[in-house]
Amino acid sequence: MSRYSHLYTPLAAAAKPSPVNRILAGLKPDAIHLSGGFPDPDYFPREQIKEITNYIMDNEAHVALQYGPSSGYPKLREHIVDLANAKHQKATLDNILLVNGSTEAFDLMCKVFINPGDHIIIEEPSYSGAVASFRAFGCRMLPVPVDDAGIMPEMVEKALAEKRAAGIQVKFMYILPNYQNPAGVTLSLERRRALLEIAKKYGVLIFEDDPYIEFRYEGEELPTIKSLDDSGLVVYTTTFSKTFAPGTRIGWIVADAELVKCLSLAESLTSLMGSPFTQALAAEFSRRGYMREHIELSKGLYKQRKDAMLAALDQYMPDGVTWTKPQGGYFLWLTAPESRIDGIEMLKGAVAAGVAYRPGPAFYVDDSKGLNQARLCFSTVDAERITEGIRRFAAVIKELMV
């Protein structure tokens, strides 16, 4: 019993170490990490950032190093308007809010729209950071399964109809339309349109989280849900964490001007503002054309690694194991046959073999689910180590399935 127990909130009091994390703590330093969803640090644009930093210190230091507006660095906001309109999102400056990574967008959405006990729709499985954030604010999450075409609209409507019949207003749907984290699947155009119609019918916001939109490796780019929206019900967020550098902590929201005002006020009470310095870096990086060059370099690199992972899975995994085949993003989702695999033993075996993956329970509202599943990331290690990591992981699964 902690001497602080009488002071903790229910959330803090309920926190306990995860048995999964205890197992992962046993990884050796030379393990092959197929777990974290990070860009490859070896390819950060160091030289361009040095060049731009010198430019900012010589020309914009009086603004970039000072307090700034909570809505964000003006030059970057103007650039974001251009990016949003390139995606047909019909934006002006009044529709844009810069945030400290798209993760802050989760916090702001909850502060503005959620009282403890309020309901939201969430994909199952879904991004673990979002699950944790929504849980911290006391959201009642209504999980709806995804398949190869994304979340199922008919099941979304069923959940909303049941809550409406009980006199409950669901506040928003949390949707990752492109190369979903963790499943790697893409929401079909038909389903994007269907979700919008459902949102209008039930008066529910769609919180569209789109951090991987620039990383399509094959197939045709689909319109964002925000670009299809004529009702003001979509709050769109994305980030420079994948395209530029996560350490800059820059994301943004595109939404109806009234909603942006509310979200901006909530941000000013939380973090006052984002970093004018890193926002100035991103603005100049983009203005000089470096952002597009860096995205194209990264796309080529990550596509090669995705293809290597899929080829290794085809070569080494035993019958009965399935996985998604993403058209973009950083991840794919592997499922071992639950009837033949003990998920804890699968994780222990992988750790012993020197392979790290992100276990399934982190991506479910009910964390007793998904032990036989794994999110595998192909962005952070080269193709040769990906192949070796999959070979080791497959050997563990084969042994458990005997």
pLDDT given at position 80: 96
Contact 258, 53 (CB under 8 A): no
User: Rounded distance, CA 302 to CA 175, Å?
Assistant: 23
Contact 331, 323 (CB under 8 A): no
Count Cβ atoms within 10 A of the Cβ of residue 316 and give its class: 0-12 exposed, 13-18 middle, 19 or more buried: middle
Fold of 5-44+293-401: Aspartate Aminotransferase, domain 1 (3.90.1150)
3-class secondary-structure state, position 349 = helix
Where do the structural domains in the chain lie, given as residue ranges?
5-44+293-401, 66-289
DSSP string over 40-98: -GGG--HHHHHHHHHHHHHHTHHHHTS---TT--HHHHHHHHHHHHHTT----GGGEEE
Residue type, 112: V
pLDDT given at position 276: 94
Domains 5-44+293-401 and 66-289 share a fold: no
The end-to-end CA distance of the chain, in Å, is 44
What DSSP designation does 330 have? S
CA distances from 353 to 24, 196, 335, 359 (A): 12, 46, 19, 15
Residue type, 188: S
User: Rounded distance, CA 122 to CA 124, Å?
Assistant: 7
Q: What does pTM read for this prediction?
A: 0.94
> Which stretches within 317-367 are classed as H helix?
343-352
Query: Mean pLDDT for each 10-residue chunk of the chain (402 residues)?
Result: 80 70 78 91 95 96 92 93 96 96 93 96 96 93 97 98 98 98 97 98 98 95 97 97 92 97 91 90 95 96 97 97 97 92 90 94 92 95 97 96 84
pLDDT given at position 1: 62
Only one residue has tokens 């497959």, namely 394
pLDDT given at position 400: 93
What DSSP designation does 313 have? H
Q: Which CATH architecture has domain 66-289?
A: 3-Layer(aba) Sandwich (3.40)
Mark 206-242 as b/e (b = at least 16 C-beta within 10 Å): bbbbbbbbbbbbeeeebebbbbbbeeebbbbbbbbbb
